[in-house]
Structure 1
Amino acid sequence: MQGASTNKGGRPHKTGSEAKSLLIIETASRLFAQQGYAATSVEQVVAACGMGKDTVYRRYPSKLALFEGVVEHAREQTQAHFQTTMAAQKGDALTQLRAAARWLLTVNLDPTLIAFKRIAFSEAIVVGQSVNKRPDDPIMDRLFALIRGAQEAGEIAQGDIGVLAMHLLNSIAVGPMIDAMLGQTTYASTRAQDAYFEKAWALFLGGARGGIAPPGKPA
């Protein structure tokens, strides 16, 4: 591995420092995903990325700090991918909401993110408070805006936007995500995801009652 380029004062350029930080995070992400939190040590990350121990510890003074960096990097990558996906979407708010919902199913089945979710659950006492969501969540903000737009267009019923957003997440992503966290491969293929999504999306839009009339009332 080549050393970082230096300026006239002998200090590494920022790009070299950023490249090292990225290599550390990507290496740690792979090891945490493959081995879990308890079985991964900072020393393993040091050895795997081929850097000096001091180089890693200056950036991440503990395993928890390193895992926090891994989670933050994953969050940033996920948000960037969502923005790119949605930037390519055309059509009205409901069409874009459908695209966002399909993306949510895909991202919640990502193997690396599934591994991090397992860590968050199994190591909750150690890492739970440290990896909580930030107050700002651009993905949920966009989801709220799309739901509001679909309501204003009369495409979906009026109601609490936060409740509707959580209903959407539960309808589309939570079941398959839990399935994957338990080691199942039910939704591993795009075809299986598409088939599930069509049914889940229809239920979200129509509600579980669908066209069935309440007792005592005509359909």
Structure 2
Amino acid sequence: MGTVRPARDKGGRPDTATALRLSHAILDAAERIFLAQGFTGASIEAIATAAGTSKQTIYARFGSKEKLFLAVSERLLKPKFPVQPSGDASLAARLGTAARQILAAMLDPKMVRMYTIITAEAHRFPELAHAADDNQSFPARLLVLHIIEQALESGEICCDDPASAMLMFQDMVLAAPLRSTALGIRKWTPQDLERWADSAVAIFLNGVRSSPL
């Protein structure tokens, strides 16, 4: 693969379009190599060679191998959450939309692979595991937290800790499907996932509603 040769402006820096293309090239190469070789097996040198750039450039742009891995994960996840649940919809409908997007995002084969990489490497790279589990690393968490906080303000639900409620909802929706998919012990059909999402929302709401259904 030919080296990307940034166009230079008068200050010696690559122009914006060239810099953006180089970032995309680095992320493309990192995605391929991380997915194929895992976190330990992937080297920054190999990623730099595949992207047509240098290790120094990658470190300057992303800071570390862990941050590059997270940038790949973020780029894979971000397009998976195109729909913001309508504020006019019912609480069940808003949570249902979020649940379906969570399942579609995380059961994508690439994200399942990223999850297994993080799980396998957590004991060797605890900083990577902690960073990957941060709310900012998973768009769904902030989305669900916003829905829960809105429902609290309107009096639709009652809970002492919205952040903990958000994590409980995430795990009710995602934990079993992701685990069984990663282990290869179950193949979930779209119909299975629809039913699972609906059940998770119903059980969650029965636990946090302000008054009985």
Give the aligned partner of residue 55 of structure 2.
Answer: 56
- Aligned positions of 1:54-133 closer than 5 A: 55-60=54-59, 65-75=64-74, 78-79=77-78, 81-82=80-81, 84-86=82-84, 90-133=88-131
Larger radius of gyration: 1
Mapped partners of 1:120, 1:12: distance in 2: 34
**Distance in 2 separating the partners of 1:77 and 1:47:** 22
Amino acid at match of 1:203: I
Deviation (angstroms), 1:14: 2.7
Partner of 2:197, secondary structure, is: helix
Q: CA deviation at 1:173?
A: 0.7
> Contact between 2:80 and 2:101, CA under 8 Å: does it hold in 1?
no
Task: Give the Cα separation in 2 of the matches to 1:154 and 1:179.
Answer: 36
Q: Does 1:30 align with 2:28?
A: no
State the aligned residue count.
Answer: 200
How far is 1:177 from its partner? 1.1
Change (3 A) 1:41 1:111: same
- Once residues 130 and 79 of structure 1 are traced to their aligned partners in structure 2, the CA distance between those partners, rounded to angstroms, is 19
Q: Which has the higher helix share?
A: 2
Shift of 1:126: 3.2
**Pairs within 5 Å for 1:205-216:** 205-206=205-206
User: C-alpha separation between the residues in 1 aligned to 2:75 and 2:33?
Assistant: 19
Cα distance in 2, alignment partners of residues 60 and 47 from structure 1:
14
User: Is 1:36–1:119's contact at 8 Å kept on the other side of the alignment?
Assistant: yes
**2:172 is equivalent to residue 171 of structure 1:** yes
Compared CA separation, residues 78 and 88, structure 1 to 2 (3 A): farther
- Report the 3-state secondary structure (helix = DSSP H, G, I; strand = E; otherwise coil) of the residue aligned with 1:7: coil
Q: Distance in 2 between matches of 1:165 and 1:66?
A: 29
| TM-score, normalised relative to structure 2 | 0.75
- Percent identity, aligned pairs only? 22
* Unmatched runs of 5 consecutive residues or more in structure 1: 208-219
Deviation (angstroms), 1:102: 1.9
